[in-house]
Amino acid sequence: MSTPQERIVPTDLRNEMSRSYLEYAMSVIVGRALPDARDGLKPVHRRILYAMHELGLTADRPFRKCARVVGEVLGKYHPHGDTAVYDALVRMAQDFSMRSPLINGHGNFGSVDNDPPAAMRYTECRLQSLTSNALLQDIESETVDFIDNFDGSQQEPIVLPARIPQLLLNGSSGIAVGMATNIPPHNLGELIDGVIALIRNPEITNAQLMSYIPGPDFPTGGQILGTNGIYEAYTTGRGSVTMRGVATIETLEHRGRPDREAIIVTELPYQTNKAALIEKIADMVNERRIDGISDIRDESDRDGMRIVIELKRDAYPRVVLNNLYKQTPLQNNFGVNMLALVNGEPQLLGLKQMLEVFLDFRIETITRRTQFELRKAEERDHILQGYLIALENLDAIISLIRHAADAPIAKQELIESYGLSSNQADAILQMQLRRLTALEAEKIQQEHEALQEKIADLQDILARRERILDIIETELGQLHTTHNNPRRTIIEQAEGELTDISLIANEQVLILLTEQGYIKRMPVDTFEAQSRATRGKSGTRMKEDDVIEHFITCCTHDNVLFFSDRGVAYSVAAYQIPVGSRTARGIPVVQMLPIPRDEKITSVLAVSEFTDDDYLVMLTQGGYVKKTVLSAFSNIRANGLIAVSLEEGDQLRWVRLAKESDSILIGSRQGMTIHFQADQTQLRPLGRPTRGVRAMSLKEGDEPISMDILPAQVVAKVAQANEIESDEEAEELEFDSSNQAGPWVLVVTGGGLGKRVPVSKFRLQNRAGMGLRAIKFRKDQDHLVALRIVNEEDEMLIVTSRGIIIRQAVDAISIQSRMATGVQVQRLDGDDAIAAVALVPPAIEEEVLDAMSD
C-alpha cells in the first residue's frame, strides 16, 4: 500500500506549463532584469552596494579586495554565480559605462576596447562618496522596508533610500522575458534642476522639463543629432536617439614628406567598442568600401582618446568622414525604452512620470525618516523627563534605593511612588553618580528643552507637505553643489541639427568634368580676372587624349545634377565633389556616381532649391525639347532617375533651369539660333518619362550645340523685335553698338572668337522653325560652342580642350550685330579650341554668408 508522499496527482499539462512559465517570467522580470523606478537599481546592484555599506567600505576608508565583496554578496544576499556579481560590480566602477560611477575601483576594470577586467582577487574597490551620500544615507533610519534574505539568516533592503533619480542618472539596460529596458544616462545637475522644477510646478510638461533636462548625457561624450527622438522618448517612453562621435579634420606635418590631412576622433558614441571600430574601418578600407584612407592608428593614452585616420593626398576629408558616419559605429542609434518596476509591476514611463515616481518615493522616505527621528526624540525626551523628576526628588529617591532589598523592588517602588514608566525607572537605576552634579543637571534640562523644540519641528514637518518638499529641495541643492559636473554630450538643436551641409562654407566654386570622366571642384578665386585675348591659366592636368567637357560655376551648398546621354539624372551635393588644385586631374566620377561604363555625362546643372515654380528644360541631340517641373527631381535615387525618354540613337545633351514666363534660346553648330517662349502655348510641361517636341529645323549636317534661358524681364524687350522684319544687310547698316543696352547674348566660337549681341536682335519665333543666324564665321572649319545670356557686371570663365582656363569680364567683349564675326576672346595654341563657357555667379551678400555661418 502506497504512502501519501508517493501518490501521483493528475495535473493538466497545459495549465502546469502556463503557470510555471509565468512564475519564472515574473521572477526574471522582478528579481533580475528590470530596475526599480525608485532607486534605479536591479537586485544584484542593490545587494552589492548594501553589502559594501555593511562592510564599511566608504569613500574615506581603505580599498578592499573585490573577492571579499563578492563573497559577502554571495554568502548573504545573492545566491547566484560569482561571475554575475563581479561583472555587475565592475560595471558600476567603469567611468565609460556609468555617467556617475557608484563604486571606486582600484586596478584593471576593463576599457573601451572591451578588454576584460582583472580577476577579482587582484582588483580592489570601495564606495564612491556620491553613493554614500545619495543612495545609502539614512538607510538605518527605517526609511525603507527590509525583508529576509534567501535563507532567512539576514535582512536586506527592498529598495535603497535614493536622494537622486538614479535610474535616469546612470540609466539601465536589461532583457527580461517578453520585455526589455534601455534607459540612457543623464547629467546629475540637470536631473536635480528638473526635480526641483517639478516640485515648484507639479503641472510642468515634458516640453518644459526639457529646458532643464535637454537630453541624455553619455559618459563617453559625443554628440546627439536633433531633439525629436529625445522628445518622443521623454513623452512616450520610447524613441531613438542618434549618437555621433566627435571628429575633427587636421593637417599632420611629416618630416621629409608632404603634409597630409587626417580625421582625428576624440570621442565615441556610448557603448561603442573602440578596438572593434578601428578593426571595422580597416576591413572596409581593405575591401575598398571606403576610399581615401591611407592609414589608421590608435594614439589614445591616459590623457584621452585619439584615433588618427590619415587620408590620401587626393581624398576629400568631408566625404570620407560622411562615409565613416554612415557605414561604421562612429554614428549609432540608442533605442530608448524606459521600462521600470513601479510597485512591483513593469511600466513604460515618460520623463515626467519617472520624476514623479522618484519624488513620491522621496516624500515617503522623508516622512518615514521624520517619523523615526520623532520616535527617537520622544523616547529620549521621555527618559530625560524621568531624570528631571529624579533630580527634583533626589534625596528621597536615593533613600528609597538604599533601603530597597534589590533592584526589582526599587524599580517597582519608583514606579508606584513617582508615577514613572518602566523605562524611566530603569534609566534612573542605571544613572551614574556624576550625573547628579549641578552642571550635569543643567545639561539634562537643556537637552530636554532642545528635544522639545525638535519634536515640535518634526511634528510640523509631518503635518505640512510643503516642509517635506523644502527638505527635498535643500538636500538636492547640497548634492548639486557637491557632485555636479559639466555636460559631456553636445546636443545639436533641431534648428541647427548637425548635417553635412552645415559644416561647409557656402563658397563660389567651379566644377570641371573631363571627357574621360575625371571631376574636381575649385574655388572661383583660383582664377583672377584677365584681359581679353590673353592666354589664361592651366585649369587641370589631363591625359593627352582627354579634354574638358563640362564646366559650371555654383555654390558649395548647391545640389549638382548630372544628366547622362541615356536620359538618366543623378545627384550629388557640390561640397561632396573633392577639391583639386589647378593642376590636379581630379577623381573618376564613377567613384561618386553609379554610372555604367557605356553611359556618359552630357549635362551638369547646379540647383539651390527644388520648387514647383521652376522647370528643367531638356534638349536632345536629335533636336527634341521638353519641360519638366523641377520638384520631380528632388528625390533622386542612388542609382539615378529617368529624366527623358529617347528615341533610338538620340541622346540627352543640354539641361537648363527655367520659369514658365522665361524664353529659350537654342543655337546650332553652324551658327543658327531659334528663340521661343517656354509658356504653355509653345512648350507645355511633361512628365519625366516622356520624349518632348521638336525644337528647331536643322540643315543637313547641323546639330544643336548650345541652349540658354532668357529671364521673363528680358522677354518683354525681345517682343518688340517681333515687329521688325529687316533683312540682314539692312540690320548691319543700321546697327549702332553705342546704343545697344544689355542684357546681351554672348556668342563664342571654337576658334576663340566672341561677341555680345543685344537680345532684341533675336526676335521671338514659333518653336520648330529654322531660326536666325547668330554669327558669321571667319573660317569654314569654325563652329559655335556657346550661347549665354549675360549682363554688363558678369564675368565668364572660358575653358579650352587642353584645360586652359581664362576668367574675364563680359564688358571687355565688344557689342556687335548678329552678322558680325566677333573679336578674339582667348589666344589659342596650335590645334587647341574653346570647349565650354561658364558664368561666375553674382557675389553672395555678406549678411547672407553670416547668417549661414551662424
Of the listed ranges 154-158, 263-267, 777-781, the one predicted with least confidence:
777-781
User: 230 lies in a domain?
Assistant: no
Res 499: pLDDT: 52
Confidence of residue 851 (pLDDT cuts 50, 70, 90): very low
Pull the grid cell for residue 453: 523644540
pLDDT average, residue stretch 107-114? 92
Of the listed ranges 41-50, 88-97, 542-551, the one predicted with least confidence:
542-551
Q: Which of 200, 224, 204, 199 is nearest to 214 (CA)?
A: 224
Number of domains in the chain: 4
d(CA 412, CA 425): 8
Q: Which of 300, 781, 800, 771 is nearest to 540 (CA)?
A: 800
In this structure, the answer to whether residues 477 and 547 fall within a common structural domain is no
Is 122 catalytic? The answer is yes
Q: Which of 799, 795, 792 is nearest to 834 (CA)?
A: 799
Res 453: pLDDT: 93
In this structure, the answer to whether residues 612 and 532 fall within a common structural domain is yes
In this structure, the answer to whether residues 735 and 618 fall within a common structural domain is yes
Res 274: pLDDT: 92
In this structure, the answer to whether residues 581 and 517 fall within a common structural domain is yes
pLDDT average, residue stretch 722-732? 49
Q: Is the pLDDT of residue 715 over 60?
A: yes
Pick 270 or 738 by higher pLDDT.
Answer: 270
User: 771 lies in a domain?
Assistant: yes
Pull the grid cell for residue 414: 519608583
Confidence of residue 306 (pLDDT cuts 50, 70, 90): very high
Confidence of residue 405 (pLDDT cuts 50, 70, 90): confident
Pull the grid cell for residue 697: 529645323
User: 212 lies in a domain?
Assistant: no
Res 536: pLDDT: 56
Confidence of residue 733 (pLDDT cuts 50, 70, 90): very low
In this structure, the answer to whether residues 705 and 580 fall within a common structural domain is yes
With beta carbons less than 8 A apart as the criterion, state whether 420 and 427 touch: no
Of the listed ranges 159-163, 606-610, 714-718, the one predicted with least confidence:
714-718
Res 796: pLDDT: 83
435-439 long-range contacts, Cβ below 8 Å, gap at least 24? Answer: 435/387, 436/391, 436/394
Q: Is the pLDDT of residue 406 over 80?
A: yes
In this structure, the answer to whether residues 597 and 454 fall within a common structural domain is no
Res 532: pLDDT: 54
Pick 838 or 282 by higher pLDDT.
Answer: 282
Say how many C-beta atoms besides its own lie within 10 A of residue 618's C-beta. Answer: 25
In this structure, the answer to whether residues 321 and 361 fall within a common structural domain is no
Q: What is the CA radius of gyration of the chain?
A: 42
The C-alpha cell 581593405 sits at 286
Res 828: pLDDT: 86
Q: What is the pTM of this model?
A: 0.62
In this structure, the answer to whether residues 439 and 311 fall within a common structural domain is no
Pull the grid cell for residue 499: 548635417
With beta carbons less than 8 A apart as the criterion, state whether 428 and 417 touch: no
- Tell me the per-residue pLDDT of 507-532, one tens digit each, with 9 for 90 and over: 788 888 887 888 888 887 766 555 55
pLDDT average, residue stretch 167-186? 89
Please give the residue range of the domain that contains residue 588. 504-853
pLDDT average, residue stretch 277-294? 90
Q: Amino acid identity, residue 660?
A: E
- Tell me the per-residue pLDDT of 340-352, one tens digit each, with 9 for 90 and over: 999 988 999 999 9
- Tell me the per-residue pLDDT of 208-224, one tens digit each, with 9 for 90 and over: 999 999 999 999 999 99
Pick 221 or 539 by higher pLDDT.
Answer: 221
- Tell me the per-residue pLDDT of 665-695, one tens digit each, with 9 for 90 and over: 999 999 999 999 888 778 888 888 888 888 8
The per-type count for the chain, helices as H runs and strands as E runs, is 20, 41
Res 720: pLDDT: 57
In this structure, the answer to whether residues 528 and 467 fall within a common structural domain is no
- From 136, 161, 186, give the residue that closes a domain: 161
CATH of the domain at 761: 2.120.10.90
CATH of the domain at 60: 3.90.199.10
Confidence of residue 725 (pLDDT cuts 50, 70, 90): very low
Q: Is the pLDDT of residue 389 over 50?
A: yes
The C-alpha cell 555654383 sits at 554
Q: Is the pLDDT of residue 854 over 50?
A: no
In this structure, the answer to whether residues 637 and 722 fall within a common structural domain is yes
Res 498: pLDDT: 43
Listed ranges 249-263, 363-377, 419-433, 438-452; the one with the highest mean pLDDT: 363-377
Q: H/E/C letters for each residue in 425-490? A: HHHHHCCCHHHHCHHHHHHHHHHHHHHHHHHHHHHHHHHCHHHHHHHHHHHHHHHHHHHCCCCCCE
Q: Is the pLDDT of residue 367 over 90?
A: yes
3-state class of 159 per DSSP? coil
Q: Are strands 587-588 and 548-555 parallel, antiparallel or unpaired?
A: unpaired
Pull the grid cell for residue 154: 539576514
Confidence of residue 699 (pLDDT cuts 50, 70, 90): confident
Q: Is the pLDDT of residue 225 over 80?
A: yes
Give burial (CB, 10 Å; 0-12/13-18/19+) of 257. exposed
What angle do the packed helices 188-200 and 465-483 form, to 10 degrees? 160
In this structure, the answer to whether residues 529 and 397 fall within a common structural domain is no
User: 18 lies in a domain?
Assistant: no
Q: Is the pLDDT of residue 436 over 50?
A: yes
- From 161, 188, 211, give the residue that closes a domain: 161
pLDDT average, residue stretch 119-125? 95
User: 323 lies in a domain?
Assistant: yes
pLDDT average, residue stretch 708-723? 69
Cβ neighbours of residue 405 closer than 8 Å, sequence gap 6 or more: none
Confidence of residue 850 (pLDDT cuts 50, 70, 90): very low
User: 494 lies in a domain?
Assistant: no
CATH of the domain at 268: 3.30.1360.40
In this structure, the answer to whether residues 459 and 368 fall within a common structural domain is yes
Q: Is the pLDDT of residue 496 over 90?
A: no
Q: Is the pLDDT of residue 840 over 80?
A: no
727-730 long-range contacts, Cβ below 8 Å, gap at least 24? Answer: 728/773, 728/818, 728/819
d(CA 277, CA 108): 22
Beta bridge partners of 757: 745
Q: How remote is the C-alpha of 177 from its chain's centroid?
A: 32
Res 166: pLDDT: 94
- From 451, 483, 515, give the residue that closes a domain: 483
The C-alpha cell 597630409 sits at 260
Confidence of residue 255 (pLDDT cuts 50, 70, 90): low
User: 6 lies in a domain?
Assistant: no
Please report, for residues 534, 640, 747, 753, 783, the alpha-carbon distance to residue 778 in angstroms, rounded to integers and kept in the order given: 20, 43, 14, 9, 10
- Enter the DSSP assignment of 689: T
Q: Which of 170, 218, 215, 169 is nearest to 192 (CA)?
A: 169
User: 203 lies in a domain?
Assistant: no
Res 497: pLDDT: 44
pLDDT average, residue stretch 468-486? 93
Q: Amino acid identity, residue 54?
A: E
Give burial (CB, 10 Å; 0-12/13-18/19+) of 757. buried
Give the active site residue among 24, 50, 122, 575: 122
d(CA 440, CA 393): 16
d(CA 491, CA 283): 31
pLDDT mean across residues, the chain: 85
Confidence of residue 848 (pLDDT cuts 50, 70, 90): very low
- Tell me the per-residue pLDDT of 261-274, one tens digit each, with 9 for 90 and over: 899 999 999 999 99
